[in-house]
Structure 1
Amino acid sequence: MGIDLTTYKERFRQVASERQASAAEVERFLAVLRPRVALHEEANDGGVVFRYGGLPRLPEDVEWPGGASFLGALDCAAVPRGELDLPYPESGQLMVFWGGEAHWGDCWGEVIYVADPTTATLRQPPSQVGDVFAPVDYFATPQVRLPYDSGWYDDVAFDGLEGIADAVEKTFSEVFDQFALGGFPNTEAGPEWDKINETPDAISVQEAQQRFALLRSQYRVLLLSDWEPRDQSRINYVIRTQDMAAGRFDTVEMFAEVGH
């Protein structure tokens, strides 16, 4: 059984109070956290949320993206939106493609929204695409994970709170999450760094830091893989919240650590 962010915060505050931690620092830390949903193979009553592999359903006027492999389909109607702070569509499916195998060391990805998959047809991959991934169904459970990159806590005194986080984690059972929705990226790299590097050198360090903080607050994890099943790659599909709300999935950016 997982734990939602609200319950996690309640337990964190309780343990922090017992250990006489600074209430102000605790609240600053908790304000950084984001809701997350783990995707795992263990079935539950929520039904299938993400189907890894197989073949995508695409409208006739939509082309298969380049030499990318089909990673899987996210059922938007099955996403537990009450557990997340992301504006996923209420229906339809997101077809997720990954160019990791075709472009080794230069990964890229694409997400295509299909509003009505029942009117689309199963599409066979182009000749340059490798084997089709064997289908696997994934179910959802709310979960809390701390940011992979300690830089998320630059303005938060996290020292001394790690023990509290460990104690809270022991009060609920974890699930093995191959994939996840929301939360934080699982690598230190991210699109924020690339965007900052595009910033003119004339701006000050303070201005660059402010822009980085803004970008970090805007980007959210659409889908990530802690270890992509075929070659153990960490994959992150991220999108700005305003683009997601507007259905602009062509703005999705992907970054990864391949073959770790």
Structure 2
Amino acid sequence: MELYGPFRREAIARGIPADQVDRFAEQLRFAIWVGGGVRGEDVVGQSGGLPRLPAGTEWPSERGIRLPFVASLDCAALPKVEKLPLPVDGSLLFFLGPEKAFDACSRGYDAYARVLHVPAGTETAVRELPSDGEVPRPYPEYGLHAEVVPELPPGLEPDDEDMDDRLMVASDTVKQLISELTHVDELIALVQDLWPTETGLSSLRIGGYTRRIGGSYSPEEQMARASLRARLETKPDLPRSERIRWRREEESRLIREWVPLAQFPTEYEVHFGRFLIRFDDLAAGRFDKMRSFPAFTE
């Protein structure tokens, strides 16, 4: 699916300089939103219910706790999106124990979250709910349909109309872009013109940018702050101004290098799931490198 080409051609046809179009397009991402209802003719996955796992594979668990099954996606049926290197076939299955995952994340480590890629041609079977021990709360079962949605980072989103508000939420990269480009508003408007957003609620979002939930730090902020703490162990006298500059630069780098693999509300109401992965790990199929950053919604 060609997306950036039409954007670039139309922007240049409207008289916007090509160099500004290209710099803005570097911040434009396209996400796949999946949910129930009529979003397309094809079913691309399943929310909830029971997972199809490779023959002989046990229900994913951690420290004796079985993880709730969130959803599965048929990679071959998903729209092909530029710069989002998902597997071309097989299935992706998502598991998350949100309460314990949130507690683990607040302590600085990943746990109780799992992504499985089942390659095409693998013998699979529906895995019934375990009959012993704690049984994961099932998610409602229904088919998932997909649509492709453009996403811009904070500071460039259409709702960020006030310049002061834009700069308050923007990364250093976006701030620099806003200060140097003279056609930002026209480029944002073009995104809306080319891809009018008439979307309903999504069960799960793949790609795009991470959502800030409640008053919590974004995943990139969390990682940047953890990196800063590690750096201060060797440079404890780093001036405050330098700490802030370094952390913001690190956050901008992380935003460039990481992408949401899945973002979704959970059946536990006050918890929201966020799985992130580096672009290069996604392209290489290294799903064990995924990191979980669940959020508390209240």
TM bin (shorter chain): 0.7 to 0.9
Larger CA deviation: 102-111 vs 140-149: 102-111
Alignment partners' CA distance in 2, 1:169 and 1:8: 11
Query: For the residues of structure 2 that align with 1:40 and 1:63, how far apart are their CA atoms?
Result: 24
Please, what is the CA RMSD of the aligned residues?
Answer: 3.4
Compare CA radii of gyration and give the structure with the larger one. Answer: 2
Distance 1:230 1:5, change over 3 A: farther
The residue correspondences of 1:62-101 to structure 2 (distance < 5 A) are 62-66=58-62, 67=65, 68-81=67-80, 83-101=81-99
Q: Return the letter of the residue paired with 2:89.
A: S
Residue number among 128, 135, 138 corresponding to 1:132 in the alignment: 138
- Partner of residue 200, structure 1: 231
Query: CA 1:171–1:115 in 2, change beyond 3 Å: closer, same or farther?
Result: closer
Structure 2 CA distance for aligned equivalents of residues 175 and 220 of structure 1: 21
Letter of the aligned partner of 2:70 in structure 1?
L
Q: Say whether 1:239 aligns with 2:291.
A: no
Instruction: Map residues 36-75 of structure 1 onto 2, 5 A cutoff.
Output: 36-41=31-36, 42-45=38-41, 47-59=42-54, 60-66=56-62, 67=65, 68-75=67-74
- Is 1:182–2:207 an aligned residue pair? yes
* Shift, 1:43, TM fit: 3.9
SS in structure 2 opposite 1:213?
helix
User: Which residue of the partner structure matches residue 170 of structure 2?
Assistant: 150
Alpha carbons 1:100, 1:106 under 8 Å: kept: no
Paired residue for 2:117, among 95, 113, 118? 113
- Asked if 1 retains the 8 angstrom alpha-carbon contact of 2:68 and 2:136, the reply is yes
**Structure 1 Cα separation of the partners of residues 18 and 49 of structure 2:** 49
Provide structure 2 residue ranges, at least 5 long, that are not aligned to the other structure: 106-111, 155-168
Unmatched tracts of structure 1, length 5 or more: none
With over 3 angstroms needed to count, the CA separation of the structure-2 counterparts of 1:37 and 1:12, relative to structure 1, is farther
Distance across 2 between alignment mates of 1:101 and 1:207: 32
From the two aligned structures, give the one with the greater helix fraction: 2
Percent identity over paired residues: 23
Whether contact under 8 Å (1:232, 1:258) holds in the other structure is yes
Structure 1 CA distance, aligned partners of 2:124 and 2:231? 44
Could you tell me how far 1:69 is from its partner in structure 2?
1.0
Match of 2:26, SS? helix
* Cα separation, 2, equivalents of 1:240 and 1:209: 18
Task: Check conservation: 1:4, 1:144, Cα contact below 8 A.
Answer: no
Q: Note closer, same or farther for the CA distance 1:7–1:258 as it changes in structure 2 (3 Å cut).
A: farther
Query: CA-to-partner distance for each residue in 1:138-197, whole Å, 9 max, x for gaps?
Result: 222221122245326132217983575256525644222512221111125114632552
Could you tell me whether the CA contact under 8 Å between 1:93 and 1:117 is conserved in 2?
Answer: no
Q: For residues 77 and 272 of structure 2, what CA distance do their matches in structure 1 show? A: 24
Aligned residue among 169, 176, 185 for 2:192: 169
Aligned pair count reads 252
Say which SS state the counterpart of residue 154 (structure 1) adopts: helix
Aligned CA distance change for structure 1 residues 118 and 186 (closer, same or farther; 3 Å): same
